[in-house]
Amino acid sequence: MKSIPVLLISLGLLFSLCHLLPGCSTPKTAPNDSSKSLTFEAPITLKLDSIRIAPVLYQEQRIIISGKYLISMGAFRDTIFRVFALKDLKYLGAFGHIGKGPEDINGPGISGFRSDPAGCQVSDMEMVKKVRIAPNPDFTITQTILNRSRIPEAFFPFNNMMTINDTLIAGTLVVGSEKELAWFNPVSGSTGFMIDYPELMENVPPGAKGHLFTKAIDISPDKVTIAMAYNWFPCIRIYQTGTQNSQILNIDVGYTQNPKPTFTDRTVNIFDLTIFFENICVTNKYMAAFLHHQKFDGVKGSEIQIKSLGNPVLYLLTTDGKPVARIQLEDWMKVYTLDEANQRVLFFNPMVDNYLYFYDLGKMMK
């Protein structure tokens, strides 16, 4: 059994609680929904490979692939980002400082760190920034801010930020939202909500849906596919940004959620629920979702106890919802990214500063 501080629970799985805010609606508020059930073959065990690198890692919290770079993020240090060459995983340098200056990051947003054709998207409490990076021979990284968009004050705190196009940035609100995502137009300043909540449980108070449907979110590099892996349900939702169609994938993981948790008008009692998905990564063709079946098991002092109900598993699917493989993982493997070009999934171990780990997926990703 493991334990985590109560504060981390409120900032983690509960970080996408929502608050009802006024705003204009998205052009299409009710996407064409469909659903289907998925069954995977038995879990497989792969050989874990590793590559020794410079000892520059420290509690990496998120990793992405952007073009020819692998970039990691650790918010608990002065220089936030580490850059590696994707081809050979050679360390190239670091960039990004915590501070309040024009080039600094004031309260780095882990969930808003994403790939971008120019380099990467970084976010903090106030801004979403598009950054171009250029490695230098001295292991420094020159960063150029190409664009910055101020987050509407009504959206604070704003998480899981995704730049869908030049006039649409979407994400989740901490306290309330009448739909899955809130959005704003950085050009006009207009705001609104998009994608109706799914119908995965009966008798949910409308104001509690934001709490019940917390999720991990990612968007494909080509901005075509948004995928949501729900914390409290064995389900993945695929949303196509062009057609605005949505599909719910009900995955047979061998167990289901408690159908009758206790609700208030705005919350669900998380101690009545079990945890399913914790992370998801999306490429242009594939998705990889991290599932670890766990349950909150009481509070000891200031820490919530978490009981594992099974080994973590990585679900590999295509972006059109076809099952590929179910891969056995170890507990530490929740910080990962999917490398479509080199047909592998890469991992950071938060306790190891000089190794990158990977599974070869060449036989699965064709």
Q: What is the mean pLDDT of residues 333-354?
A: 95
**Domains recognised in the chain with CATH numbers:** 2-360 (2.120.10.30)
Predicted local confidence at residue 357, as pLDDT = 98
Cis previous bond, 157, omega within 30: yes
Q: How far is CA 228 from CA 202, 267, 290, in A?
A: 20, 20, 12
Each residue's pLDDT tens digit, 200-236? 999 999 999 999 999 999 999 999 999 999 999 999 9
Which amino acid would we find at residue 63?
I
Residue 151 has pLDDT above 80, yes or no: yes
- Sequence-distant (≥ 6) Cβ neighbours of residue 109 within 8 angstroms: 122, 123, 124, 125, 159, 161
Q: What pLDDT is attached to residue 31?
A: 53
pLDDT band at 301 (very low <50, low <70, confident <90, very high): confident
pLDDT of residue 299: 87
| Average pLDDT estimate for 328-354 | 95
Output the pLDDT for position 10.
38
The predicted pLDDT at position 21 comes to 29
pLDDT at 68: 94
| Best-predicted range by mean pLDDT (119-128, 155-164, 229-238) | 229-238
Task: Name residue, tokens 């599974």.
Answer: 359
pLDDT of residue 11 exceeding 60? no
What is the model's pLDDT at position 88?
Answer: 94
What pLDDT is recorded for position 230? 98
Cβ(326)–Cβ(342) under 8 Å? no
Position 25 pLDDT exceeds 50: no
pLDDT over 80 at 186, yes or no: yes
- Residues near 102 by beta carbon (within 8 Å), at least 6 away in sequence: none
pLDDT band at 16 (very low <50, low <70, confident <90, very high): very low
Q: What is the pLDDT of residues 68-95, one digit of tens each?
A: 999 999 988 889 999 999 999 999 999 9
Per-residue confidence (pLDDT) for residue 181, from 0 to 100: 96
Rounded to the nearest integer, the mean pLDDT of the chain is 89
